[in-house]
Amino acid sequence: MLKFPDKFYWGTATSAYQVEGGINNDWFVAGKKYDAGLACDHYHRFEEDFDLAKNMNNNAHRFSIEWARIEPGEGKFDEKEIEHYKKVILALKQRGLEPFVTLYHWTLPIWFTEKGGWLNKDAPKYFERFVEKIVLEYRDLVKFWITLNEPNIYAPHSYLQGSWPPFKRGFGNLGNAMRQLVEAHKLAFDKIHKISPESHVGFVTDNIWYKGILKVFIDYKWNHWFLDKVKDYQDFIGLNYYFTHSIFGFLKLLHLIKVKKENKTDMGFLICPEGIYHVLKDLKKYNKPIYILENGLADAKDGKRVKFIIDHLKWTHKAIEEGVDVRGYFYWSLLDNFEWDKGFGPRFGLIAIDYEDNLRRIPRPSSRIYAEICGNNAINI
């Protein structure tokens, strides 16, 4: 049995647009492909969902606050929605779940995008104003704040490839957006600490284990550029880990080399638990606590999820043994949800959602194993 450190955080994660339903933001207006609709109706059923998390012996939960709900018009804050998220936070705390609050998880108010989105020179200040409002409201309830989710995923999709809102293309747009996101994080970090000095503030990076020649050419730009820009503006590092890439991996991705089906997720991602060890070791140089805030797979039949979780935790434990300060693990996701432009097909949840039967929640068998791990603070080997 491999024991994890005392006071280790065990949880799951969600994001507002992917689970809440009924949100009018830049994705909602972008077309049917990007419309989450009712999603899981988590907005109205959050207490039921948090009961499920509690039943899995979780002691923490990561979620996001939807900017478009809080500030639907420029400088106009919706007090009803502010009260709603207060109820969400209190519901978590009442169940012994530490809230990890994400302030920006890829979706934006429509007024913000009409001003040019992250390419507007004042965009970081608009974000700072939103952050100030939220932290003033919840400073006595929240200890962990996550400013931005995966800028190294969001910006290339939205400002280079143009596959996500606001559908911009070009390296110039990408560079400008990334610099604005750096500034937004810095302003938010300072503002949060000014209002709530005891808060812990970080952002989430999606790091890939690059092997061989790819590590030489891609690793810094993808895994470390943003981290290095904000290294003096973070109390912790939030890590999301899903991928490993090598030259052979790209050939597999292009179907030029066959991969055994059992080593892939439903979305075709290669499963490589060892990679989480390497990216954790790579982050050790920053000398910051690390929380694994997303790690999961699309697996509708739930045939690979248990092994996936246990194998990733084994490699995480190895990193901890070698001095990496990992303080929490959050599986993605608590619920099946809207997987962005991929829709509702991919099933990441420990809890299945029956979209044909009133969004009925059905705990998958893997959720029971995760509950044992969380309850024991350990994995069996």
Count other C-beta atoms under 10 Å from residue 221's C-beta. 10
Average confidence (pLDDT) over 223-231: 96
- Label residue 219 by pLDDT band (50, 70, 90): confident
Task: Based on the residue annotation, tell me whether 150 is a catalytic residue of this protein.
Answer: yes
Q: Can you list the positions of beta strands (E) in 191-260?
A: 200-206, 209-210, 236-240, 244-245
Per-residue pLDDT band at 262 (split at 50, 70, 90)? low
- Give me the catalytic one of 20, 150, 183, 294: 150
pLDDT at 288: 98
Residue 275 has pLDDT above 90, yes or no: yes
Cα 336 to Cα 334: distance, rounded to the nearest angstrom: 7
Average pLDDT on 39-48 reads 98
| CB environment 294-307: b (16+ within 10 A), e (fewer) | bbbbbbeeeebbbe
Q: pTM for the complete prediction?
A: 0.96
Phi and psi of 209, rounded to 5°? -85, 105
End-to-end, the C-alpha distance of the chain in Å comes to: 6
> What does pLDDT average to over the chain?
95
What's the whole-number mean pLDDT along residues 338-359?
Answer: 98
Instruction: Report the C-alpha gap between 28 and 61 in whole angstroms.
Output: 25
Stretch 28-53: mean pLDDT, rounded? Answer: 98
Q: What percent of the chain has pLDDT over 90?
A: 91
Q: Cα separations (Å) of 214 from 171, 219, 221, 286?
A: 20, 7, 11, 22
pLDDT in tens, 106-122: 999 999 999 999 999 99
Q: What is the mean pLDDT of residues 203-226?
A: 89
Q: Tell the residue number behind the tokens 């590092």, with chain if given.
A: 237
Say yes or no to pLDDT of 261 above 70.
no
pLDDT of residue 256: 47
Nearest to 105 by CA among 138, 157, 149, 143: 149
> Does the N-terminal peptide bond of residue 158 adopt cis geometry, omega within 30 degrees of 0?
no
The answer to whether the CB of 59 falls within 8 A of the CB of 11 is yes
CA-nearest of 180, 169, 70, 199 to 120 is 180
User: Which of the four pLDDT bands, split at 50, 70 and 90, describes residue 214?
Assistant: confident
**Residue 215: predicted pLDDT:** 82
Q: What is the pLDDT of residue 260?
A: 61
